[in-house]
Amino acid sequence: MKIIQSQDEYNRYFHQDTVHPYVSVGDLSRADLTLYEPIDFNMYCVVLMDNDFGELVRNGKCVRYRAGTIFSLRPGQVVSMNLDYTQKPRGWMLAFRPELLENSGLGRDFYMFNFFQQDVYEALELSETERGIILNCFANLYAELHSPADYLTNHMLRLGIGHLLSYCKRFFERQFALRASVDSTLQSRLDILIDNYLSSGMPAQEGQPTVAWCARQLHLSANYLGDLVKRELHVTAHEYIQAKIVRAAKNLLESTSMSITEIAEELGFAYPNHFTRMFRTQTGFSPLKYRKQRG
């Protein structure tokens, strides 16, 4: 695995000169094939795959994106490609160092671009119109990088990057809304998944269901599932899971003679007092008081 240590090193993969210490735009059709070996670019990157030239490998997972797909990388992420050697790579790659964000409007607003925190499954599939807009953003950045530098260069580059990221945000939100409507059965799928797990006896051995576990079962990343639950169900994924656990606890308190310790173990709590504390926080009653009221 290689870590990119400088902009010069990054630009060598594209057989181009370094024209700015913090920003580069590379044409994937000109890239050395070693670019697709395991690399931590140590920068924020936005990649437009303009044709299907292989399988992306990230976080140990493989995914094949269609032509016209954008994905992002953050410093510390290792990525590689299983190339399809019958297809020549085509597309663009923006890479900018975190230093560019310091003491700037782009840095102040960077929290909005949360797609950098998302993982393998999240990528932006562009319509033809959206693709044209994104290509224009790359072209503007490339042109600015190769124009004579002046006192406005950094300002213009930050504006151009903000422009590109803002369009990605807008298009991703539209795609998200479309997927949400397609995934209108999310709540029922999540209910079945959690209910089956809680009633399987597995929590006693494996622990409580977590957001990460649910996401894996649904073939999503934890970040994506969290965003989806928040938008669709108006609670956090953790809160939703806790509510399901409380519902299961209520059922056991009402319908069985199991002790509080046994119920806590059945639901995956390491210690009964953790169960009691969570139940009281969620319901306002201790488990024993709840059972007495329902008895």
pTM given for the model: 0.62
Instruction: Tell whether 50 and 75 lie within a shared domain.
Output: yes
Instruction: Tell whether 168 and 48 lie within a shared domain.
Output: yes
Instruction: Tell whether 168 and 194 lie within a shared domain.
Output: no
Range of the domain at 282: 186-294
Instruction: Tell whether 18 and 154 lie within a shared domain.
Output: yes
Q: Which residues contact 230 (CB under 8 A, 6 or more apart)?
A: 236, 237
Instruction: Tell whether 75 and 92 lie within a shared domain.
Output: yes
Neighbours of 164 (CB within 10 A): 23
Q: Which two tokens stand for residue 7?
A: 């902009």
CATH number of the domain to which 40 belongs: 2.60.120.280
Instruction: Tell whether 121 and 252 lie within a shared domain.
Output: no
Task: Give SS3 for 17.
Answer: coil
Which alpha helices (H) appear in 151-236, and where do they start and end? 153-182, 186-198, 203-206, 211-217, 222-233
Instruction: Tell whether 76 and 200 lie within a shared domain.
Output: no
Domain end position, chosen among 149, 182, 215:
182
- CA distance linking residue 64 with residue 125, whole number of Å: 12
- CA distance linking residue 209 with residue 217, whole number of Å: 11
Domain end position, chosen among 131, 159, 182:
182
Instruction: Tell whether 192 and 112 lie within a shared domain.
Output: no
What's the domain count of the chain?
2
CATH number of the domain to which 255 belongs: 1.10.10.60
Could you read off the pLDDT tens digit of each residue along the chain, which spans 295 residues? 899 989 999 999 999 999 999 999 999 999 999 999 999 999 999 999 999 999 999 877 888 888 899 999 999 999 999 999 999 999 999 999 999 999 899 999 898 898 887 765 568 889 899 999 999 999 999 999 999 999 999 999 999 999 999 999 998 888 766 555 545 578 888 998 999 999 898 999 999 999 999 988 887 788 888 888 887 788 899 999 999 999 999 989 988 999 999 999 999 999 999 999 999 999 999 999 999 887 6
